Amino acid sequence: MSRPDPGSTVVSAAAARRGTIQSVDRAARILKELGSGPSRLGVTELSDRLGLAKGTVYGLLRTLERQEMVEQDPETGKYRLGPAMLQLGNAFLDNHELRSRSLLWADSLASRVGEAVRVGVLNGTTMLIVHHVFRPDDSVQILEVGASIPWHACALGKAVVAYADDHERAALMREPLVALTGRTITDPPRLAGALGAVVAEGFATEDQEAIVGEAEIAAAVFDHRCDRHARRCSDESQSLGGVVSRAVVNDHQFAGH
């Protein structure tokens, strides 16, 4: 009977503890950092932000650049996300079931209520917008597909998190609750009360908590394992995301639909 290789045992144990491949993890962190803001970043900046050696960052950037996931500005030498990331993002949206199922009825909803409609899913501590229908008027509007909004500052987030299991909801409440405006709820007990109201009423509201001058009303969308009442879901059901109608607020009055 052959004896196990001590070296392989150590490697296997280390891999089991990490559960990830270090180089892939570091490359993903670089991509997320480059995508976290509009500014281009250099090797030194990424090294400082991520706590990685400059040589490591440079080698990973060169590899990502060959795959067109990042590109370097020839004038400044700094890096930004590359065209391959757009292709991946579009593929994510094209294959997203909730988005594909919401295309027709989101348009219809926007027409009926005369307001913008967004569909989003919980992604970490933010709501990721996967579909956006403009308000049916001639006002200037910006497409928000791909935008991320802190869950606690939007009706979408409250509508989804209200139906999360106790462990997930508690974990989200422990994360920093940043104020985006003077109306953002950052007090955990008050936020917990707002989530309880969502379950009781079946929908969530937000009045200028994310953007001054705008308000929202949202409801969660459940999968096939949920019963017919959204506010009374079985333990096996799962909230897939949420849909929201956004309204412009005049004179600081809530005007959502």
Residues 55 and 161 in one domain: no
43 CB contacts (<8 Å, ≥6 apart)? Answer: 54, 57, 58, 61, 79
Residue 33 falls within a domain, yes or no? yes
The answer to the question of residue 90 being in a domain is: no
HEC string for the chain? CCCCCHHHHHHHHHHHHHCCCHHHHHHHHHHHHHCCCCCCECHHHHHHHHCCCHHHHHHHHHHHHHCCCEEECCCCCCEEECHHHHHHHHHHHHCCHHHHHHHHHHHHHHHHHCCEEEEEEEECCEEEEEEEECCCCCCCCCCCCCCEEEHHHCHHHHHHHCCCCHHHHHHHHHCCCCCCCCCCCCCHHHHHHHHHHHHHHCCEEEECCCCCCEEEEEEEEECCCCCCCCCCCCCCCCEEEEEEEEEECECCECCCC
CATH number for position 222: 3.30.450.40
CA–CA dist 71, 60 (Å, integer): 12
Using the 3D structure, point to which of 57, 85, 113 is the last residue of a domain. Answer: 85
Q: Is residue 242 part of a domain?
A: yes
Neighbours of 210 (CB within 10 A): 23
Ramachandran sector of residue 134 (left: φ over 0; alpha: ψ -120 to 50; beta: rest): beta
Quote the pTM value: 0.66
User: Are 135 and 74 part of one and the same domain?
Assistant: no
The domain of 169 spans: 96-248
d(CA 214, CA 181): 11
Q: Are residues 129 and 218 in the same domain?
A: yes
CA separation for the pair 154, 218 (Å, rounded):
9
If one counts the domains in the chain, the total is 2
pLDDT at 152: 94
**71 and 101 both lie in a single domain:** no
Q: Report the mean per-residue pLDDT for the chain.
A: 79
Domain identity same for 102 and 81: no
250, pLDDT greater than 70: no
184, amino acid identity: T
pLDDT band for position 253 (cuts 50, 70, 90): very low
Structure tokens at 214: 């705008």
Does residue 102 fall inside a structural domain?
yes
177 part of a folded domain: yes
Q: Is residue 254 part of a domain?
A: no
Q: Do 105 and 195 have their domain in common? A: yes
Q: Same domain for 71 and 107?
A: no
For residue range 98-123, list pLDDT tens digits in order: 787 787 888 888 888 888 888 888 88
138 belongs to a structural domain = yes
Whole-number pLDDT of residue 16: 41
Residues 48 and 101 in one domain: no
- Looking at the structure, tell me whether residues 217 and 114 fall in a common domain: yes
Are 52 and 113 members of one domain?
Answer: no
- Where a domain ends, among 23, 51, 85? 85
Are residue 232 and residue 145 in the same domain, yes or no? Answer: yes
How far apart CA 153 and CA 147 sit, in angstroms, is 14
Q: Residue 37 sits in a domain of what CATH number?
A: 1.10.10.10
Single residue among 64, 85, 106 that ends a domain in this structure: 85
Within a domain: 201: yes
pLDDT band at 209 (very low <50, low <70, confident <90, very high): very high
| Residue 23 reports pLDDT greater than 70 | yes
What's the pLDDT tens digit per position in 148-181? Answer: 899 999 999 999 999 988 899 999 999 999 999 9
Mutual orientation of helices 188-201 and 166-174 as an angle, nearest 10°? 140
Following CA atoms 22, 28, 179, 200 in sequence, which dihedral angle do they give, to the nearest 10 degrees?
-90
Overall average pLDDT of the 47-67 stretch: 94
Same domain, 209 and 186: yes
